[in-house]
Amino acid sequence: MATLPLLKPSSRPEHYCCCYSISRVMNSSFRNGRNSKKLFLSSFKKPMITKKCFIVQNVFSDSKQKLEENITDQGIPSLLNTLRPDSASIASSIKYHAEFTPLFAPNEFSCPAAFFAAAQSVRDSLIINWNATYDFYEKMNMKQAYYLSMEFLQGRALLNAIGNLELTDAYGDALKKLGHDLEAVACQEPDAALGNGGLGRLASCFLDSLATLNYPAWGYGLRYKYGLFKQKITKDGQEEVAENWLEIANPWEIVRNDVSYSIKFYGKVVTGSDGKSHWTGGEDIKAVAYDVPIPGYQTKTTNNLRLWSTTVPSEEFDLSAFNAGEHSKANDARANAEMICSILYPGDDSVKGKILRLKQQYTLCSASLQDIISQFERRSGEHVKWEDFPEKVAVQMNDTHPTLCIPELMRILIDVKGLSWKEAWNITQRTVAYTNHTVLPEALEKWSFELMQSLLPRHVEIIEKIDEELVNTIISEYGTDDPELLMKKLKLMRILENFDLPSSVACLIKEKSYKASSKTIKDDLVEESRILDEQDGLVAEDEGEEDVKEKKAVVDPVPEPSKMVRMANLCVVAGHAVNGVAEIHSQIVKEQVFRDFYELWPEKFQNKTNGVTPRRWIRFCNPELSSILTKWIGTEDWVLNTEKLAELRKFADNKDLHNEWMAVKRNNKLKVVSLIKDRTGYTVSPDAMFDIQIKRIHEYKRQLMNIFGIVYRYKKMKEMSAVDRKAKYVPRVCIFGGKAFSTYVQAKRIVKFITDVGATINHDPEIGDLLKVVFVPDYNVSVAELLIPASELSEHISTAGMEASGTSNMKFAMNGCILIGTLDGANVEIREEVGQDNFFLFGAQAHEIAGLRKERAEGKFVPDPRFEEVMDYVRSGVFGSQNYDELLASLEGDEGFGRGDYFLVGKDFPSYIECQEEVDEAYRDEKKWTRMSILNTAGSFKFSSDRTIHEYAKDIWNIHPVKLP
């Protein structure tokens, strides 16, 4: 362990002060007034009590006059231009935090201690820009966007923050002075456990781009204490344990104890003497704000991610119960409140689990909207004009999780602010917008009406009225002349599912349709009775109609369908914009998922193809490649203007670039070799192709097809001589990573199967380094930052039409990885940009899927012999004693839950393994493969989240970039 060295007094203490003293003084200045120059300057007249060699009398070597000249009428931030910290001042700042804001014992300056001290030092610099940005937004009162998301998959913040501040080298040198290596220190930071998959990572990329492009915008989320879970891989497959990312502390966050809001659940709605609805009684909790700075790249703009943590006031602690020995009861209220922010996506198989999820979603929406409205009122001053609210506020719902912000905004405007229904609805529709991220039915959220009515009674009243107005709109649009068409539209489009029509509407439709339908209904009943009797063997083939009428069919009573609230429908009805996240996905949204709404309101629907930040996903995670890009393009401007990456195309055949390119790829692969050894114990060769599939484990993403392809490859290898297999097959390391949701049994079976296949193949001496299979446990952003730069082939093999976008494919392409995939999600656009010859395509297309499923349901599908061969090989027990009948059964049969190969693994398997043979052939040609790799990076220019944010800002939010003075 290193001890904290005594730094020399000559280490430019003026900059040491900049790193921590100025931020402290400036925080006070901003709290007490926007331009408290006098307070700021006077603070430096007072000596600080410091330890060892830090003497504040020498803070500024220049005169006080020079200091005052630099503090212009623009405000304190201009001082930053003259007080840029160097490595010596940074080392002093780190040392200060190790001594005065410690989280560890003072006797040893360990690597973890160095991380926290360094992070606190960086945060000091961020706070200056953070406060200045906040102050500027308040003063300018421009329109601001607010991004509501249940997930923000941030990853580690240290390297990203110092990279955006352009202080990476300075911090590296400073830590070296203190006896530590920057990379080793950065590895001490746990990933923030605030997300799980692409939804959360997209939100984080968006926050980076918003700050970098100087857009006024905040993110809102929940501060999960234990995240989703930490994944362990054992002999039994995936095991889940609680995340410990907050076990010591989070050095980036600042709790805002003065920013808290009351959140209500349960209770009842009563009508007051004023005729207004009042939500009373029930359970009250408190949401407290924790703020995390989001710095932009090469800009002072530092936006905010506000996370809510839940608790109750101290008076809710039942002291009398505690003193009576009922200790658990005394703390019930606090425990119930804190449970809301314990886990991301708690299991919802139970009623209690469903209630907890709904509480989470409402907490996010209510606390965020109360905060947004508070800011609007404060910035408006004495005269608040509510009609101006949509001109100052844009709320983006990231998927359906924040849907409750719609009735919550309505509730606040009507019940609290006194607006009419018409005024509130007009404001709400102009304020909120919705991003759809899925076509999977289970992800288009529905909530039990009964549960929601119990938990949020006032919101249910509002939703019922929105639904009633929607019914009237549909009737107005389609009329009542065709009752069958009208009923079909109402059934598909209503927010409330399995509800009777309002009485006035029902009478109107009944009157129109009675005569036309009475005979049909009678005939239908007779025919239905006949069919049921035939199924029960009660009707002979020659029985006539009269015989049927004399039969009495015994029919089991049909259970009453559950009443549900369809959140996606509510989003579409209330939002002024609805967007998909890739061209093909947006078409499916318009043509299938929300077709009826698109016919009614085509102007609402847009496409916004996702993007990823080139800062984290090339510049910082792949610095060697970044240097090559800068060298060959001739400028580092590509970090902000990724269009310049296209200039690489003219060097695609350059031998020198090829040599440099391959050297960087190998160095990145060597890092992954160490990662795999450390995480799994397996030793793999850096000379093998790195074939990677890292994403959430789900049947539609078809990790099962990938591992089946590996099994087929292994079986064929075993049937060959050593000479033949070496001649036919390229060495591969097949790497998997991703979490299966804890209650998703089939996904967990897939994880278990992958690890079993790996255990067999990796210990087969006949195969050796020709094939390895590795499952990297606990996949997260930090693991991705190692795997993606080292990847050579990446698998994006979802069933066509089911992946909304998939942003990992963009990260792989940016880092010179070649993709194998279907025409699904953003694959379509990536293939167009990188060139068809530089993308390995296989499988059925989206427009064919429905027909293929129908073919399967009718029993007409004939599986390929190679697919059957793999199934038989798995059943032979070659991969251990585990019984995989239930896993394999999902690929068999024609229909039924968990049967019939709904995701068409068997259908696409032959095309997939044939495409993998093309991959082997291309990889053998080093020059061709390197050229393809370069062209993938060159073609990824379109997929920066900067481009996506510009489109959101222009087409949905109507906000404009504003640069701090």
Q: Please, which residues have CB within 8 angstroms of residue 374's CB and are 6 or more apart in sequence?
A: none
Name the active-site residue from 15, 156, 180, 437: 437
| 45 given a catalytic annotation | no
810 close to 610: Cβ distance less than 8 angstroms: yes
Name the active-site residue from 133, 609, 807, 937: 807
Residue 899 phi, psi dihedral angles, 5° rounding: -130, 175
| 37 given a catalytic annotation | no
Among 736, 794, 798, residue whose Cα is nearest residue 761: 736
How many CB atoms sit inside 10 A of residue 184's CB?
A: 12
Residue 1 CA, chain-centre distance (Å), reads 38
Cα 763 from Cα 489, distance rounded (Å): 59
283 close to 265: Cβ distance less than 8 angstroms: yes
Question: b/e string for 28-60 if b means 16 or more Cβ within 10 A?
Answer: ebbeeeebbeeebeebbeeeeeeeeebebeebb
Residue 522 CA, chain-centre distance (Å), reads 52
Q: Residue 801 — left, alpha, or beta (φ > 0 → left; ψ -120 to 50 → alpha)?
A: left
Residue 293: what residue type? P
Cα 613 from Cα 640, distance rounded (Å): 9
196 close to 399: Cβ distance less than 8 angstroms: no
Cα 270 from Cα 838, distance rounded (Å): 65
DSSP string of 828-868? Answer: HHHHHHH-GGGSEE-S--GGGHHHHHHHHHTT-----HHHH
Point out which residues pair with 261 in neighbouring strands: 287
What SS3 string covers 191-244?
CCCCCCCHHHHHHHHHHHHHHHCCCCEEEEEECCCCCCCEEEEECCEEEEECCC
| 698 given a catalytic annotation | no
What SS3 string covers 100-145?
HCCCCCCCCECHHHHHHHHHHHHHHHHHHHHHHHHHHHHHHCCCEE
| 15 given a catalytic annotation | no
Residue 879 CA, chain-centre distance (Å), reads 35
Name the active-site residue from 12, 615, 616, 696: 696
| 807 given a catalytic annotation | yes
773 close to 760: Cβ distance less than 8 angstroms: no
895 close to 858: Cβ distance less than 8 angstroms: no
192 close to 157: Cβ distance less than 8 angstroms: yes
Cα 634 from Cα 647, distance rounded (Å): 10
Name the active-site residue from 143, 695, 732, 856: 695
Enter the tokens of residue 280: 């009373």
Which runs of consecutive H residues, i.e. helices, occur in 551-702?
567-574, 583-588, 595-600, 614, 623-633, 655-680
Beta-sheet strand order (sheet of 578-580) = 254-265, 283-295, 302-311, 217-222, 144-148, 393-398, 432-435, 578-580, 605-607
| 563 given a catalytic annotation | no
Name the active-site residue from 698, 811, 856, 942: 811
- For residue 538, the 8-state DSSP code is -
| Helix and strand element counts for the chain (H, E) | 39, 22
513 close to 488: Cβ distance less than 8 angstroms: no
**Greatest distance between any 2 Cα atoms in the chain:** 111
Cα 891 from Cα 897, distance rounded (Å): 11
Cα 621 from Cα 615, distance rounded (Å): 8
Enter the tokens of residue 143: 């329109």
Question: b/e string for 485-508 if b means 16 or more Cβ within 10 A?
Answer: ebeebbeebbbbbebebeeebeeb
Residues that are catalytic:
437, 695-696, 701, 807, 811
